[in-house]
Structure 1
């Protein structure tokens, strides 16, 4: 049930932003993986996306600590779920781009868990 009224200001979903040690490197990985161009780039922030669509942002954090998933000592906080048609082919492509296969794979016939170059877990799912 929506509680927004005609007098409420419009709110648009713009992006999800990931903390990381190197925004340009993480943007390169996701830009190539998802075919998204850079729409904004500074020394400490890079945004990927297309006009009118939500994007992915990458923000430089000093002393960044990657998530320790599945151990929760450094929580993952968020992760992406990406739909694919072929798990093996997509996984090989993402590993070639810099991803790493996570040690824990609960449902490998349906879903693969990978870690991006900054250590964020993400899933590829049939």
Structure 2
């Protein structure tokens, strides 16, 4: 029988866990985990999945798209309106880089710590 694992968390290195958690909390509406502090902060999602942010004093932001410092991972989010979401997220502190591989299908943004994340239109199966 294959090993069955359940994903419980996705954690991103960053210089300021509480600040990055605040950005994603405003962007997603997810609540801050009660044990969040200056070393680790988390947001609690569906089925208890935690989106975590851990302090890395030597954090170097990814240099997407050139890859000098690799992205290592990126998050994908579905939204109702791409343009409106980009406007709201940049107001919260995200950056829209000039390189957009398929802007008609998705948008790439960088969070305040430099991690790339993608927005795509919500599909009927995801509601």
TM-score when normalising by structure 2: 0.88
Indicate yes or no: 2:122 matched with 1:121: no
Pick the aligned partner of 2:17 from 4, 17, 23: 23
Which structure: larger Rg?
A: 1
- CA RMSD of the aligned region, Å? 1.5
Q: Structure 1 residue 51: deviation in Å? A: 7.2
Q: Contact conserved, 2:16 with 2:38, CA < 8 A, in 1?
A: no
Q: Which runs of 5+ in 2 are unaligned?
A: 122-127
TM-score, normalised relative to structure 1: 0.89
Structure 2 equivalent of residue 98 of structure 1: 93
In structure 2, the partner of 1:3 is 2
Runs of 4+ in structure 1 displaced over 3 angstroms? none
How much has 1:100 moved relative to structure 2? 0.4
Q: Corresponding residue for 1:83?
A: 78
Corresponding pairs, count? 120
- Higher helix proportion (structure 1 or 2): 2
State whether residues 32 and 43 of structure 2, in contact with CA within 8 Å, keep that contact through their aligned partners in structure 1.
yes
2:36 is equivalent to residue 41 of structure 1? yes
Give the aligned partner of residue 64 of structure 2: 69
- Structure 1: 5+ residue runs without aligned partners? 5-9
Moved more, 25-34 or 36-45: 36-45
1:110 corresponds to which residue?
A: 105
